């Protein structure tokens, strides 16, 4: 078995978990808390041990192990780094998404490292924490990969400032595993011996919880919510019942180093520990601020010298962002040499209110200008998190009177301008694995408006830019959305009636834009109208359509005319996530449908029944020379795992998982039954995400040839 290097960069999740106070208390008991730390163990005024953050995402961690294809009998937790963004509530639902970022090869016999990263959000919308996992795969080294970075670390050459003594019970792993980490290494004596241990060992993450309690007790007692980082390296295993000594060196206010020792042997079991925390004053300030914040983030707003852009920039800064205020300072139609005054004035407003901002005067209409805007952010603040493409001009004329220069000028600012800034911004966001991008469309583009063919075309073009950028940004945690604002700005002051201008202040658009710019935003690839505090979503949908004429015959225009009522209908229309998925209905339309099963037949058909019937469906005459193993992992209440071995024109069905299948098929139970009964087209299922194929994709096509149900 070899590591699956193709898993690097592929999104894992979302993984959802609902929890309440009982889960928190069970975890606390599992990591040694008791009556002496009742705040962790009693629902009255309950506090959360921050290391619960890793116990709450075991399902994600399990997916990392499975996706990496590591040998589970040799897998150990290597390192864990947790960044805390907000205090963990005592109940709710959390959603975790992430990916495997690297696989490092330590050499034959030395193992490999699988590194993954995940962000977790609470159902209240707040980002809670980021986990960076490193799994040590003892049996998977020697694949010829990068050995990975080497990080230096030294403890102070002095006596620890604090030491905490604790002892786990001899049954500690049995209690801790009830929080979700049920790996048999910590409970099954035979499995433990097969893995090279005398008996089941302590979970590294259980010892991790002991250490977390210890540093809180000595550094910021009674206030676990102040923790902002907790990083460890797991260096040695520990058997339950052996006492633990946690040594702590305070380096400066807000930062300390620590390690945990086997108190009997002196061996270090948790090494290179780093803990960071905010001051009590900072904690109070955070409580006071509340809501959506952009502290530590950097934003670019183009066209920010007035109107919507100015409001976006001011509000971002008020909520903690450092802002690049870009504005050429030109006329409404883009003419003139420009002026630094609009951008400078907004920067001064931000600074006067206690914020941070710098001005930029580059034109978005050139690639050099777009790069210059991004460079300003990097030079001034060293990072980039948010981009609002807001710059625009108007040159309205009817189509017949639209000279090429007026067409090109509007395209250069709106469509090419968004590309010119978004491209270099995307590069920086991809490096940080985080970004929020806003494009500005218009009702003129979405629905049309007399005298604005250039403007409408550019604004609709931005939708296409978003649709593909959302796909490319997905695995990098870059979300991109588009807003169609209705607001009183210099571009609309002579278009809208005077009595509406007061009601259409840009301030009424900004709340939606700021939400879409925030960490809380789970959405990508959406279009929204916004104005006067009214918001709604716009979607491109596809009607069900109809087949015209006979299959394999070109239909006549007259046949199209006859079927036009069905062709143009959008009843039961669908929204598709990408172009491939949109191809599905066409395939379905020409896919022969099997006769609908009677209720009695449908009631008897199960996933298990399908696999029982596979030998009868096997077409031995089609299997000459075929040597494959198909793994089927069917999720849902009626699912399970089976593998089908085809060799020497024989077919054998086995329940369970094969060590190295040729192809793995993953589906939900209902979708699988519908696929087998002909109600679901295989290609449509694949392109729509209902059917996942791993391993040899081409060999999966043999299934239709080898089996006739």
CB distance 160 to 248 below 8 Å: yes
419 is catalytic: no
b/e per residue 653-689 (b: at least 16 CB within 10 A): beeeebeebbbbbbbbbbbbbbbbbbbbbbebbbbbe
CB distance 301 to 324 below 8 Å: yes
Number of neighbours of residue 560 by Cβ within 10 angstroms: 12
* Residue 654: partners with Cβ closer than 8 Å, 6 or more residues away: 642, 643, 644, 645
CB distance 147 to 106 below 8 Å: yes
Rg (CA), the chain: 30
CA-closest candidate to residue 662, choices 636, 691, 697, 634: 697
What is the bridge-based pairing of β-strands 640-647 and 628-635? Answer: antiparallel
Number of neighbours of residue 432 by Cβ within 10 angstroms: 13
Active-site choice (27, 40, 312, 455): 455
Sheet (strand 255-262) strand order: 11-19, 92-105, 112-122, 127-137, 75-84, 227-234, 268-277, 255-262, 243-252, 162-167
Q: From the centroid of its chain, how far is CA 50?
A: 22
Q: How many CA atoms lie within 13 A of 386 on its CB side?
A: 30
Sequential DSSP letters for 363-390 = -TTSHHHHHHHHHHHHHHHS---EEE--
Is the torsion defined by CA of 438, 440, 441, 443 positive or negative? positive
What is the bridge-based pairing of β-strands 92-105 and 112-122? Answer: antiparallel
Strand ranges, E, within 571-704:
628-635, 640-647, 650-655, 663-668, 692-695
Number of neighbours of residue 211 by Cβ within 10 angstroms: 26
**Phi and psi torsions of 239, nearest 5°:** -90, 145
Number of neighbours of residue 525 by Cβ within 10 angstroms: 19
b/e per residue 101-140 (b: at least 16 CB within 10 A): ebbbbbeeeebbbbbbbbbbbbeeebbbbbbbbbbbbbbb
CB distance 132 to 117 below 8 Å: yes
3-state secondary structure of 318: helix
DSSP 504: T
Question: What is the set of active-site residues?
Answer: 455
């Amino acid at each position: 078995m070899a590591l699956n290097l193709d898993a690097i960069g592929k999104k894992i999740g979302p993984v959802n978990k609902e929890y309440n106070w009982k889960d928190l208390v069970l975890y606390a008991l599992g990591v040694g808390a008791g009556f002496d730390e009742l705040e962790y163990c009693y629902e009255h005024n309950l506090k959360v041990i921050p290391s619960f953050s890793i116990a709450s995402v075991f399902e994600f961690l399990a997916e990392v192990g499975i996706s990496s294809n590591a040998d589970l009998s040799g897998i150990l937790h290597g390192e864990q780094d947790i960044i805390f963004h907000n205090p963990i509530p005592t109940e709710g639902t959390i959603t975790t998404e992430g990916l495997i970022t690297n696989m490092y090869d330590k050499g034959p016999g030395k193992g490999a490292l699988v590194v993954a990263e995940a962000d977790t959000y609470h159902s209240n919308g707040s980002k809670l924490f980021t986990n960076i996992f490193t799994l040590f795969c003892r049996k998977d080294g020697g694949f010829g990969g990068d050995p990975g970075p080497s990080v230096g670390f030294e403890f102070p050459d002095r006596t620890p400032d604090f030491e905490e003594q604790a002892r786990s019970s001899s049954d500690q792993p049995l209690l801790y595993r009830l929080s979700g980490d049920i790996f048999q290494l910590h409970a099954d004596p035979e499995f433990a011996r097969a893995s090279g241990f005398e008996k089941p060992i302590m979970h590294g993450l259980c010892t991790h919880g002991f250490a977390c309690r210890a540093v809180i007790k000595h550094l910021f007692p009674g206030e676990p919510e102040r923790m902002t980082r907790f990083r460890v390296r797991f260096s040695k295993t520990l058997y339950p019942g052996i006492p633990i000594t946690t040594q702590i060196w305070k380096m400066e206010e807000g930062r300390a180093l620590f390690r945990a020792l086997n108190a009997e042997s002196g061996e270090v079991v948790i090494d290179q520990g780093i803990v960071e925390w905010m001051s009590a004053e900072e904690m109070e300030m955070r409580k006071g601020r509340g809501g959506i914040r952009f502290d530590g983030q950097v934003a670019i707003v183009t066209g920010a010298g007035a109107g919507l852009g100015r409001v976006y920039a001011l509000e971002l800064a008020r909520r903690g962002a450092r802002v690049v205020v870009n504005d050429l300072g030109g006329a409404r139609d883009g003419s003139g040499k420009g002026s630094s005054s609009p951008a400078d004035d907004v920067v001064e407003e931000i600074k006067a209110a206690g914020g941070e901002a710098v001005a930029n005067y580059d034109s978005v209409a050139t690639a050099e200008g777009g790069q210059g805007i991004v460079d300003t952010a990097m030079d001034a603040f060293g990072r980039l998190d948010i981009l609002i493409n807001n710059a625009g001009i108007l040159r309205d004329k009817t189509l017949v009177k639209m000279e090429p220069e007026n067409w090109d000028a509007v395209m250069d600012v709106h469509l090419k301008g968004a590309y010119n800034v978004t491209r270099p911004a995307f590069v920086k966001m991809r490096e940080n694995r985080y970004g929020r991008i806003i494009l500005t469309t218009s009702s003129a583009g979405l629905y049309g408006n007399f005298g604005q063919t250039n403007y409408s075309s550019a604004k609709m073009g931005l939708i296409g830019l978003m649709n593909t950028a959302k796909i490319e940004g997905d695995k990098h945690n870059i979300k991109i959305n588009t807003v169609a604002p209705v607001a009183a700005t210099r571009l609309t002051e002579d278009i809208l009636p005077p009595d509406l201008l007061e009601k259409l202040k840009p301030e009424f658009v900004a709340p939606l834009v700021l939400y879409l710019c925030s960490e809380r935003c789970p959405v990508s690839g959406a279009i929204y109208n916004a104005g006067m505090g009214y918001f709604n979503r716009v979607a491109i949908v596809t009607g069900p359509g109809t087949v015209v004429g006979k299959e394999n015959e070109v239909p006549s225009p007259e046949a199209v005319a006859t079927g036009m009522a069905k062709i143009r209908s959008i009843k039961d229309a669908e929204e598709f996530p990408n172009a491939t998925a949109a191809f599905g209905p066409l395939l379905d339309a020409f896919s022969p449908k099997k006769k609908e099963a009677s209720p009695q037949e449908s009631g008897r058909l199960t996933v298990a029944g399908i696999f029982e019937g596979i030998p009868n469906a096997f077409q031995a005459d089609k299997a000459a020379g075929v040597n494959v193993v198909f793994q089927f992992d069917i999720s849902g209440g009626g699912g399970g795992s089976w593998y089908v071995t085809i060799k020497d024109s024989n077919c054998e069905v086995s329940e369970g998982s094969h060590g190295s299948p040729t192809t793995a098929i993953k589906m939900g139970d209902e979708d699988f039954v519908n696929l087998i009964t002909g109600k679901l087209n295989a290609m449509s299922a694949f392109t729509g995400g209902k059917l996942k194929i791993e391993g040899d994709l081409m060999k999966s096509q043999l299934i239709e040839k080898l089996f006739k149900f």
